[in-house]
Amino acid sequence: MARELNEVGVVGLGTMGAGIVEVLARAGLSVTAVEINDDAVARGRGHLEHSTGRAVSRGKLDPADRDAIFERIRFSTSLEDLANAELVIEAVPERMELKAEVFTALDKICPPDTILATNTSSLSVTELSVVTGRPSKVIGMHFFNPAPVMKLVEVVRTVVTEQSVVDDVEALAGRLGKVDVTIGDKAGFIANALLFGYLNHAVSMFENRYASREDIDAAMRLGCGLPMGPLALMDLIGIDTAYEILDTMYKQSRNRLHAPSPVIKQMMTAGLLGRKVGRGFYTYAGRDSAEVVADAATPAEGGAAAGARPVRTVGVVGSGTMATGIIEVVAKGGFDVLFVARAPEKVEAVLKALTRSLDKAVVRGKLDEAGRDAVLARVSGTTSLDDLADRDLVIEAVVESLPVKEALFSALGEIARPGAVLATTTSSLPVIECARASGRASDVVGMHFFNPAQLMKLVEVVSTISTAPDVAATAHAVSAQVGKHAVSCTDRAGFIVNALLFPYLNDAVKMLEAHYATADDIDAAMKVGCGYPMGPFELLDVVGLDVSLAIERELYTEFREPGFAPAPLLEHLVTAGYLGRKTGRGFRDYAGR
């Protein structure tokens, strides 16, 4: 049975350490908070006063409760004051030699049954444990920033950590109101191992000028529902902290995806450390400010749409869910829309689906009846591609097959009027292949809508090496008119979103395959620890394991990066017919298809 820990200590009162002190004191524990000198103690106390004061001002904490929190905390500059602690949590800067020095000292001061915990996010807990005479009493207790808000704690056991120590720490996490996942000692644990590979990849994308910082961040927020874009998150974490974590992970794993992008080291050297200094990937109003201010790298408003070709009429080819969503979105934007389906019954099915969707919008109060009727009046269907000859813009939304798309663009190249823009909604195929097949490559652009098109706000505008600038500008202008946020990128596998998303999903599968953690714990770590709307395995089952495998193979084929090679477990599940929700079985079992 787990013992109830009541007398605890925290060493290090930076942002994270002070947050941990607040969490412990809020839960009623007696806390001794230790820093190196009086100035550092004052800064740590300032962090606590700011955090609790903000909670009071927002009505989330009573003034009396705030006073009670401070009554439970004793501030000190001496480790000797931890002599009676039942648990000490170390939260000093992420340097092994510094942490080892603290653990060596605590081992001499604290009683033999005191648990020594490290809040490290990337260093080896095992390596820290062996500097003490009690390695079986050492454990990782990785809180997430800001500790009073974030609910996840990664409990990291080594091969010699006693089960009773694990039980005690898990019980404490529950008392603190945290969700704990217990894992082994591996570089990055769960959340950072998955998060920082993704962040590093995003930095490389920016460093190589594939897309702007604003477009990379907007793509991941709007395309994946993430709370922050990767570059803004790097600024929040701290560029120096991110470098140390990536460097540590790379040294332990030798995974090239964790080798810090050169620009990270350059920014660190230049002192561009993120929000805490007011400059990182973005420029902020001041130190520790979240307000981004314009700088020379911020693009001019409306610049992407300058020189756009006029568009009044739009054609859509396709009759599936994506095509129907695009038809609705474009018609709501005020365009006259003619869509092409293979047969009269498909035309009728699209019109019925469109009517149902608009009727739902009326019931939900998002559209009035007059608006619904106006949208329907702007839409008509046909079975002949030749009827698209007068369209200003034609959007292809057919099955994700290169031969099918090539044949379609070959026909559209001859049918569409001179100057008409031809767009493909492909999410993974080379846009240049469609452009080549059309015989008019300068008129072809990618417009990757996200499903469901009626709800998702993002469009990736993909320019090939041949796309005319006014054609890309036209795609941006149309996207803006239909209420979408367009981001620019060039034609390579995955564009922005899939190129960042699917290696992360693949890393999660590899983590499961290695039996490091369960699918439930990995999903919980990313949802609770990083604020993701879905865990990686939930998302894989929704997307479809076969679709995910196809995209990962495309990324691996194009980039030849060993870390992008699809996890064998994913390939085996697809071969066995475990495709996710659509078949009722994937990484989890479902009640039905």
d(CA 210, CA 206): 6
Q: Is 192 a catalytic residue?
A: yes
Q: Which of 154, 244, 460, 538 is catalytic?
A: 154
Helix, strand or coil, per DSSP, at residue 261: coil
Query: Which residue out of 51, 119, 121, 548 is catalytically annotated?
Result: 121
Report the alpha-carbon distance of residue 460 to residue 232 in Å, rounded: 19
Closest of 84, 120, 122 to residue 102, by C-alpha? 120
Catalytic residue status for 121: yes
Distance from C-alpha of 424 to C-alpha of 593, rounded to nearest angstrom: 30
Q: Exactly one of 142, 201, 258, 476 is catalytic; which is it?
A: 142
Can you give the C-alpha Rg of the chain in angstroms?
Answer: 27
- For the chain, the distance separating the N- and C-terminal CA atoms, rounded to the nearest angstrom, is 43
293-316 core/surface letters (b: 16 or more CB in 10 A; e: else): eeeeeeeeeeebbeebbebebbbb
Return d(Cα 364, Cα 285) in angstroms, integer: 40
**Please, what is the Cα angle at 195 between 191 and 201, to 5 degrees?**
160
Report the b/e string of 157-167 with b at 16+ CB within 10 A: bbeebbeebbe
Secondary structure string (H, E, C) spanning 94-107: CCHHHHHHHHHHHH
Q: How far apart are CA 292 and CA 282, in angstroms?
A: 7
Backbone angle region of 494, left / alpha / beta, with phi > 0 → left and psi within -120 to 50 → alpha: left
Rounded to whole angstroms, the Cα distance separating 546 from 242 reads 33
Bridge-based pairing of strands 421-424 and 444-449 is parallel
Q: How far apart are CA 85 and CA 490, in angstroms?
A: 57
- E strand or H helix at 236, and its extent? helix 230-237
- What sign has the CA pseudo-torsion 126, 130, 135, 138? negative
CA distance 371 to 362: 9
What's the rounded Cα separation, in Å, for the pair 142 and 197? 18
| Cβ neighbours, 10 Å, residue 547 | 19
d(CA 158, CA 118): 12
Of these residues, 192, 357, 438, 463, which one is catalytic?
192
Active site residues: 121, 142, 154, 192
